[in-house]
Amino acid sequence: MSLLNILTYPDPRLNKVAKPVAAIDARIQQLAADMLETMYEAKGVGLAATQVDVHERLLVMDTSEERDQPLVVINPRVVWTSDDVVLGDEGCLSVPGFSGDVERFAEIHIECENANGDTYKIEATELQAVCIQHEMDHLIGKVYVEYLSPLKRGRIKTKLIKEAKEAQKSES
């Protein structure tokens, strides 16, 4: 297993639209394992393949308190969403140091495949429901900051670009 590099907003590769996973093979299983390791290491609750610069419909998550319920979600399809919406404070491993309020469906049901290629259903509520919607947005090239006001988004962008430049300088 190995840790993967997580892209940072506003990297344009975060705006790429992922293609369906064509075959759940050893490469995909390795990718899922590496993504889980990367997510746990970064203390995130979810990670989409887009964030590690792989543009295929795959995400991993673990919203359990004990951090012992890893889920591999391949080719997710939304089958039902609640009428209720919730407003919650969201963060993202690709937008370090920031968070912002985003409106999401309170509940969502999806169908997907696991790393063995078996189809299963997730009936998600609360944090897990928010996480699924956040990660599925990544797969269509959307970062949560796009829901924020242009002012707040601009502030985040400017700060992260500045930090990236400083990090580059200290490396060279």
10 cis-preceded (ω within 30 degrees of 0) = yes
Nearer to Zn ion, 28 or 143 (CB): 143
> Which tokens belong to 63?
């919203």
Among 14, 18, 59, 92, binds Zn ion (CB under 5 A): 92
Task: Say how many C-beta atoms besides its own lie within 10 A of residue 69's C-beta.
Answer: 11
Using DSSP's 3-state secondary structure scheme, residue 19 falls into strand
Residue 24 touching Zn ion (CB under 5 A): no
Check residue 130 for interaction with Zn ion (CB under 5 A).
Answer: no
Active site residue 135: yes
The smaller minimum CB distance to Zn ion, of residues 34 and 135, is found at 135
117: left (phi over 0), alpha (psi -120 to 50) or beta: left
Number of residues that bind Zn ion (CB under 5 A): 1
Contact range with Zn ion by CB under 5 A, out of 15-23, 90-98, 100-108, 110-118: 90-98
Determine, following the binding rule CB under 5 A, whether residue 58 of this chain makes contact with Zn ion.
no
> Minimum distance between the CB of residue 92 and Zn ion, rounded to whole angstroms?
3
* Residue 12 CA neighbour count, 13 Å, CB half: 0
**Min dist. Cβ of residue 91 to Zn ion (A):** 8
Does 35 engage in binding with Zn ion (CB under 5 A)? no
Closest approach of Zn ion to the CB of residue 116, in Å: 26
The catalytically annotated residue of 135, 146, 163, 166 is 135
Choose among 6, 91, 90, 89: nearest CA to 41. 6
Q: How far apart are CA 134 and CA 92, in angstroms?
A: 9
CB atoms within 10 A of CB 134: 23
Question: Which residue has the CB atom at the shortest distance from Zn ion?
Answer: 92
- Which residues are identified as catalytic? 135
Q: Which residues bind Zn ion (CB under 5 A)?
A: 92
